[in-house]
Every structure is written in structure tokens, then in C-alpha cells.
A = this chain, B = another copy of it.
Amino acid sequence: MTTIYDIAKKTGFSITTVSRALNNYSDVSEKTKKLILDAVEEMHYYPNSVARTLSTKKSWALGIIFVEDLGIGMKHPFFNSVIEGFKKSVEKKGYDLIFLNRNVGGVKMSYLDHAVHRGVDGIAVVSSNYDDSEVEKIIASTLPNVIIDLHSTKSNVVYSDNLHGCELAIEHLYSLGHRKIAHIAGHPKTFVGLERLKGFKSAMKNHGLDIHKPFIVDGGLFSAEGGYNAMLKLLQMKDRPTAVFAAGDNMAFGAMKAIREAGLKVPEDFSVIGFDDIELAGEYTPSLTTIKQDMDRIGEKAAEVLLQEIDHKFEPSTCIIPVELIKRESTKSI
């Protein structure tokens, strides 16, 4: 590995001058700068980021953690989309992404401790869970951070406009003539589960529809199975809904499967609308009408906010990313 000393030796300047030339200091003449940069090129030298970090306290690395109970981690379609958007944005600014976990060399430590141990410049958290002590610790810390899909007044947060999304969904179903609308809710320990339930209720109210309690069924952790089981309950009722608004696409798929297995059809017998617009939504048969979350934008925005906190100083911000109704085949007028 070639070091700054090698460049110094080769050019005859001191390592101080080499360092200055590399970092564009003004007090090094154009001539020697060129000499040095040529040598750098020739010897294929790249500064060692570890050494640089040690002396500057700036690692140009960002930590990312995700908290979810399914154990699918990066396979989670929402997470990986958001992270991809985040990653692309921060890379443009010269940051690397590092996954933080909770054990270092066999020793369990908190995410925050791990982040400090690694010397990252900031942390992005994608969390589905409501009160997570790990996340709270990060929020309370002085390390710049941004939280995705969770609300807090004490930190930077970024999430979709869940309430408006629900409004769009109910509005759409209402305009198709549906009045008996069920909601397959996300788990109450998740922020978006709660938000969308709230949004559902408020949207129903706004349309002058009253909320039939049994029509609100728990769909669990946003999985297809959860949606399937929830739909089974709805199918057992004598007075069934005509439309189902699921708090997540996967739950909508599960619901449609239950409907199909009951010998009924979507959208003829039930209109179904989801939330997320995961890739599968457009491919499924029938394709799924849903509320599209702009995951790329969420990731980008999170990057923007985090880098801003790192560069300048801190003031908690809340970014609500717009959502959009995507009309497809799974909903029709009554």
C-alpha cells in the first residue's frame, strides 16, 4: 500500500506539503501541486480513509439500521427500496453506507454504541415499530440521525402522507359507489398501522360513512397471511362489506387469495385496494389498485435531511412525502 510518505519521498517534499496538495490548500504553489498530483497518479495512491478518519473525526460513512419483527431484513420491499434511494443520494455526496448490527466481536452492544464505535457521521433508521428503546436512544443522542416511517418531534423524520393516502383510497371507493368498506389494519405496534387506521376512520367520517367496528380487522404484521386470515373473518359475516381497504399491499394479496378460495371474485364481488404499490402490485392478476408510496423519494429526502444535519446544525424536521392513487383492476364500481 502506498502511503503519503511514499509520495513525499518520491517528490522530495514533506508529507505536510503532500497532504496539503491533496486537500487543495492554497498555500502550495501550482508547480509543486502538479508535481505531487502527478506522482499520486503514477503511484496509484489513494489516501487511507482510516487514518484520515482518525485524525479528522470524519468518517464519510453513514450507518443504517432497520428494526422489524419479520426477520426478513433487506428482503423487505419497502426497506430495500427506501435504502436504495438513500444510498444513491448519499453516495453522490461521497458517503459510504454501513450496516449496523448489535454485536461486535461477539459482544452485544446497542446500535448507538456500535455507531459510535464505528465512527459513522450519521445514522438512518428504518423502523416499523412504534416504541423501540434502541431507536429512542438514537433519537436522544447527539449523533445526527434521521428516522424513516416513524414520528418523533425530537428528531428528523420522513414518512409518507399516510392520512392523505387513506383519504384517497376511501374517496376512490366512495366514488365507485361503495359504502360498506372494511379495513384490514396493520399491527397496532407499528406506526404506519396506527396512522392508516386513523386515516381510515377520519376518511370514512369525512365521507359521511359510519364505521362499522367489525369491519376493522387486524391484519398483523403486513404479511399476506395476515391479510388472508383477516379476510376470512370478513367473509364469514352475514352482512359483508363490498370493498376492502388493506393497510399494505401484501395484506391485500392475502385478502384476494381468501376471496378467490371462497369462490368469489375481485373486483366483481369485492373491490380491494392496497397501500404501498410494491412491484408485484402491477403484475398480479387482477392488478392491484393501491396507494403508491414514493420509496425513492423517501430515501432521497432522508439523505437530504441527514446530510443537512451533519453539515449545518440541528433542528428537528418532519417530512411528509406525497402519495398517489394508482387505479388498476382490483376496484370497480358497484
Contact = CB atoms under 8 A, between A and B. Distances in A.
Nearest to A278: B280
A197 interface: no
A255 to B, nearest CB: 12
Interface of A: 1, 44, 46-51, 53-54, 59-61, 72-75, 77, 80-81, 83-84, 87-88, 91-92, 94, 96-101, 103-106, 109, 113, 116-119, 224, 253, 257, 260, 279-280, 283-285
Contacts of A118: 49-50, 96
Contact of A284 (B73, B96, B106, B284): B284
Contacts of A74: 74, 80-81, 83-84, 87
Given A53-B50, A74-B74, A119-B49, A61 B91 contact: no
A262 to B, nearest CB: 14
Contacts of A224: 283
B46 A113 contact: yes
Contact of A98 (B61, B101, B103): B61
Contacts of A87: 73-74, 99
Nearest to A284: B284
15 contacts: A1-B116, A46-B109, A46-B113, A48-B54, A48-B119, A50-B54, A74-B84, A75-B279, A94-B103, A94-B106, A96-B98, A97-B98, A98-B98, A224-B283, A283-B284
A94 B54 CA distance: 21
Contacts of A105: 60, 94
Nearest to A76: B80
Nearest to A91: B101
Given A50-B54, A283-B284, 17 more contacts: A46-B109, A46-B113, A49-B104, A50-B53, A50-B119, A60-B104, A60-B105, A74-B81, A75-B279, A87-B99, A94-B103, A94-B104, A94-B105, A94-B106, A96-B101, A98-B98, A257-B283
A99 B77 CA distance: 19
A154 to B, nearest CB: 21
A117 B75 contact: no
A283 B61 CA distance: 38
A247 to B, nearest CB: 18
Of A75, A81, A100, A116, the most chain B CB neighbours within 10 A belong to A75
Nearest to A63: B96
A52 B280 CA distance: 45
A280 to B, nearest CB: 5
Nearest to A118: B49
Contact of A91 (B94, B103, B116): B103
